[in-house]
Amino acid sequence: MRLGVCYYPEQWPKSRWREDARAMRALGLDTVRIAEFAWSRMEPAPGEFDWAWLDEAIEVLAAEGLSVVLGTPTAAPPQWLVDAHPDVLPIGADGRVKPFGARRHYCFSSPSLAEATRRIVTAMAQRYGGHPAVVAWQTDNEYGCHDTTLSYTPTALAAFQRWLRARYETVERMNEAWGTAFWGLQFLSFAHVGFPIGQPTAALPAHALDFRRFASDEVVRFNRLQVELIRAHAPGRPVLHNFMGLFAEFDHHDCAVDLDIAAWDSYPLGHVDTAASFLSEPERQLWGRTGHPDMTAFHHDLYRGVGHGRMWVMEQQAGPVNWADWNALPLPGMVRAWTWEAFAHGAELVSYFRWRQLPFGQEQMHSGLNRPDGALDDGGLEAAQVRAEIDLLLERANAESLTTRQAPVALVVDYPSLWMAQIQPQGKDMAGFGPMLAYYGALRRLGLDVDVIAPDAPLDGYAMVVLPGTLHLREALVERLRASTAIVVAGPRTGSKTERLSITEPLPPGPLREWLPVRVRAVESMRPGRTVAIDAGVHGQGQGMQWRDLIELDPEADAVKETLVLARYEDGAPAWLTRGRFHLHAGIVDEALLLRWIGVAARDAGLTPLDPQALAPGLRLRRRGEFLFAIHRGPAPAVVPVPDQAIPLLGSATLAPGAVGIWHLKSGS
Ligand code: GAL
């Protein structure tokens, strides 16, 4: 459990560096990430390098015993590069070039960018690859941030056409796969294919999806280029990237194939403020100063999966951010609570953003651990408190007893399915993270630990597998479901689309029909405020909203006799049915119903979910090794259902809003 910070020596006078390094050490930090935007300082002119300042910065940090994570600086190409090679600059969906003057002004497909990247990353890795203080490498910074995954340059178009040729070989095959019989859209050659934007109305869904897949592959390729160069010169040093929250524009699982660790940047308050598409205004008020109780945790679990079990928080919000519409002050205690929450979910490092608030530049209103005048800010004080508490915990714990174990429940995240829902949402609120977070949140309210896994990840050892509306079930997942003995819970729309984004044949739920003798004969989405009553008998009454799959049972299938309809909509259509170890939810339902239905499935799986009332609003539990962590976001004090023989280490069984509790679980409790 290490603590770190993001630091920009190039933004401060050299005379402060030593003092800063000493203060970092005194605060209990041990890792510092630097350099990820400093390309123009490292290479002031093409091929001319200035390492003196970076050598010195690393030495100053190392002299205080601090470890360095070195970021490659490609998120901020220097002006000389874009001047000499305008193809580096991306073009937005509006057809306009995104000029020099901020950051991320590059197109992933630019050959000039690749060449310049090869030069700077090689030079950097050669110089610092073997440096004892440089313990890890970060590639670039937040791929895709500021809407930069998709770029509409002529270079990107040519690359897209080549990508299509490699995938389909002949244009006839592509036409067939895309369903160009519709509106007579036969493309005459690969060279005739354009971007799927700007047409009078939506482009072919398969065209849009292939463009998303292509753009994702471009990110993967660019990252791989960097990783290979770093590995060649920095043997034994882990390579990571800092991914973002609420962001799915490229396939993170594909990208992380080349990484050792998935890091992510956690801004709980910024994320609540920007999640307007699936958090209501009252919810955003409620969690505005604490962060949402499940959103941050979801990302920890997601990125632990993306990172093959290794997850870091590379940037942790430590006070107000500057980039949301409204930027609240964290509730006192939350910086500490977020840090413990990250550790509870398996983080190896939590690194705060940033060391000191900078009084100039675009982020001058963004807080840090220290105020612009150098005094420790509230977040800094809380970081110091966490340091002392980690030391206390480590007196009782060791690596073995703190090892994150496999969770009993797996929730599958499939990036292409998220793109499919965005391309054809059919109901405005069905795209994005909302439906997935509803399932994740229900599991967590029942006190269950969750692994968020890739669609091709092994399912061995899981008692329950949740497909939270995974539109496309790839063959690898279907095979794993076949081999598994887990209880499977599928949300609405699961299995409804082919890889090419058309409706499955036979009808949805596609491959799930192997287990469930049902057909989705129609679907409907519902405007906000419209609900359909649901009667689940002994499992409660409630409301459906947003979406429903209208299910008919296949009367000819023998399996019909084994199929139980456990809940129905007011018009008689099944809302929840089960056969054997498969459960199907035919729509989005209110939280209380979802909790009950998932509770039933969890008990079928041999798990012991908590009573939904056991965790007060905002209270969540998470086990790591032999330890139980409780994080409470309020709004009122909450009693933690602590197992009988657990030994208290930190906090008490009644937690105030923003408080944390840790217990040592004796085996079996
Ligand atoms: C992240 C980014 C940082 C900084 C931070 C501010 O997206 O990686 O460089 O801009 O946001 O919250």
Residues 18 and 66 sit within 8 Å (Cβ to Cβ): no
pLDDT above 50 (res 430): yes
Ligand 1 closest atom vs CA 37: 9
Residue 174 lies in a domain: no
- Condensed to tens digits (0 to 9), the pLDDT of residues 366-385 reads 999 999 999 999 999 999 99
- Condensed to tens digits (0 to 9), the pLDDT of residues 569-610 reads 999 999 999 999 999 999 999 999 999 999 999 999 999 999
Residues known to be catalytic: 142, 315
Residue 187 lies in a domain: no
DSSP-assigned beta bridge partners for residue 627? 624, 664
- Condensed to tens digits (0 to 9), the pLDDT of residues 217-230 reads 999 999 999 999 99
7 lines ligand 1 (CB under 6 A): no
Residue whose entry in the numeric block shows the structure tokens 């490092």 = 349
Q: Tell me: do 61 and 26 sit in the same domain.
A: yes
pTM above 0.95, yes or no: yes
140 lines ligand 1 (CB under 6 A): no
In whole angstroms, what is the distance from residue 165 CA to residue 188 CA? Answer: 13
Q: Tell me: do 365 and 293 sit in the same domain.
A: yes
pLDDT above 70 (res 668): no
Confidence of residue 666 (pLDDT cuts 50, 70, 90): confident
Q: Tell me: do 602 and 636 sit in the same domain.
A: no
Domain with residue 657: its CATH number is 2.60.40.1180
Residues 222 and 114 sit within 8 Å (Cβ to Cβ): yes
Of 667, 662, 546, which Cα lies nearest the Cα of 1? 662
Q: Tell me: do 363 and 492 sit in the same domain.
A: no
CA end-to-end span of the chain, whole Å? Answer: 24
Q: Tell me: do 590 and 631 sit in the same domain.
A: no
Q: Tell me: do 575 and 630 sit in the same domain.
A: no
Confidence of residue 73 (pLDDT cuts 50, 70, 90): very high
Q: Tell me: do 421 and 376 sit in the same domain.
A: no
DSSP-assigned beta bridge partners for residue 568? 535, 574
Residue 160 lies in a domain: no
Q: Which of 394, 428, 460 is the last residue of a domain?
A: 394
Q: Tell me: do 371 and 243 sit in the same domain.
A: yes
Q: Which of 558, 585, 606 is the last residue of a domain?
A: 606
Domain with residue 470: its CATH number is 3.40.50.880
Residue 140 lies in a domain: yes
143 lines ligand 1 (CB under 6 A): no
145 lines ligand 1 (CB under 6 A): yes
Ligand 1 closest atom vs CA 323: 12
Determine if the peptide bond prior to 509 is cis (ω within 30°): yes
Domain with residue 72: its CATH number is 3.20.20.80
- Condensed to tens digits (0 to 9), the pLDDT of residues 357-368 reads 999 999 999 999
Please tell me the total count of domains within the chain: 3
Assigned token pair, 240 = 């990571």
- Condensed to tens digits (0 to 9), the pLDDT of residues 458-475 reads 999 999 999 999 999 999
Write out the residue range of the structural domain in which residue 591 sits: 409-606
Residue 659 lies in a domain: yes
Q: Which residues contact 496 (CB under 8 A, 6 or more apart)?
A: 471, 503, 504, 508, 509, 510, 520, 549
Q: Tell me: do 364 and 511 sit in the same domain.
A: no
In whole angstroms, what is the distance from residue 465 CA to residue 485 CA? Answer: 10
Residue 193 lies in a domain: no
Assigned token pair, 266 = 């956690």
Spacing, Cα 227 to ligand 1 middle (Å): 22
Residue 570 lies in a domain: yes
Q: Tell me: do 374 and 414 sit in the same domain.
A: no
Spacing, Cα 416 to ligand 1 middle (Å): 26
Q: Tell me: do 376 and 423 sit in the same domain.
A: no
pLDDT in the model for residue 669: 47
Residues 474 and 499 sit within 8 Å (Cβ to Cβ): yes
Residue 30 lies in a domain: yes
User: Rounded mean pLDDT of the chain?
Assistant: 97
- Condensed to tens digits (0 to 9), the pLDDT of residues 37-56 reads 999 999 999 999 999 999 99
pLDDT in the model for residue 667: 64
Q: Which of 606, 634, 655 is the last residue of a domain?
A: 606
Q: Which residues contact 477 (CB under 8 A, 6 or more apart)?
A: 412, 414, 455, 456, 470
Q: Tell me: do 131 and 107 sit in the same domain.
A: yes
